[in-house]
Amino acid sequence: MAKRRRIYEGRAKDIYEGPEPGTLVQHFKDDASAFNNTKRGTITGKGVINNRISEFLMSRLQEIGVPNHFIRRLNMREQLVREVEIIPIGVVIRNVVAGSMAKRLGIKEGTQLPRSIAEYYWKNQELGNPLVSEEHITAFGWAMPQDIDDMLSLSLRINDFLTGLFLGVGMRLIDFKLEFGRYYDENGDMRVILADEISPDNCRLWDSTTSEKLDMDRFREDLGEAAEAYQEVARRLGVLPDGGELNGPRMVQ
């Protein structure tokens, strides 16, 4: 088989040229990083699990009409996606205070927010992905006002859907980060669609009964049993790869 061309090498994912024009292959790795790459490690099996979890969540989102780049899973660690022009803004939606918001504003982690809050981060690793406002985004031309409207309305819709989905299997969606891209269809019309991945790498998920952390914070905060936490999320969603069968989410009371 001809060697594929690698387009991007990240800590958690590599991106390769896809088999057809306009497609890419996302390869999920076990490598983990935190605090702008200053902390590094691996979570065994994370790539395989995130490939499955992201496949599951992107597919469910497509079913409710949230456009995204996912086409199909190719193998244990890879999925075929549509090529998009990535908008250099990470959109974080927060339902409960945690992470950098707790630190920046001095508010206790776990405080329920009166409403979901959206934040924008400029994707610039050298500067540590700084928090920016809508005005920064439009003034510096990172996205147009219409792109921001599209990203925000899709993010809030995704938040409502995922909050319910995770709650149904015993987890609270505390916050998450999304990335979007511009996709040009066959008529040349542009649409903003969801890209990247949705997994415990970029979501905070707490057990709804015990508040146990079931996400990347287990690695960031040295809580141990990170691999087990990722497996638990996959198991609750019914997408554990080794079980063979994909049963879908098992509701909890």
**46 lies in the site for ligand TMP, by CB under 6 A:** no
Q: Pick from 174, 175, 123, 118: which is nearest to 148 by CA?
A: 118
Indicate the residue type of 162: L
Question: Per DSSP, which regions of the chain are E strands?
Answer: 6-9, 13-17, 23-28, 31-34, 39-42, 70-73, 78-82, 85-96, 112-122, 131-132, 171-184, 190-194, 203-207
Choose the stretch contacting ligand TMP; rule: CB under 6 A; options: 66-74, 134-142, 159-167, 175-183: 175-183
Choose the stretch contacting ligand TMP; rule: CB under 6 A; options: 69-77, 81-89, 162-170, 201-209: 201-209
**203 lies in the site for ligand TMP, by CB under 6 A:** yes
Binds ligand TMP by CB under 6 A, chosen from 54, 79, 155, 202: 202
**92 lies in the site for ligand TMP, by CB under 6 A:** yes
The distance of closest approach from Cβ of residue 224 to ligand TMP in the complex, given in angstroms and rounded to an integer, is 19
The answer for 165, left when phi > 0, alpha when psi is -120 to 50, beta otherwise, is alpha
Phi/psi of residue 96, each to 5°? -135, 145
**176 lies in the site for ligand TMP, by CB under 6 A:** yes
C-beta separation of 202 from 177 below 8 A? yes
**100 lies in the site for ligand TMP, by CB under 6 A:** yes
Q: Which one, 172 or 204, has the nearer CB to ligand TMP? A: 204
The site for ligand TMP (CB under 6 A) is made up of 92, 98-101, 129, 175-177, 202-204
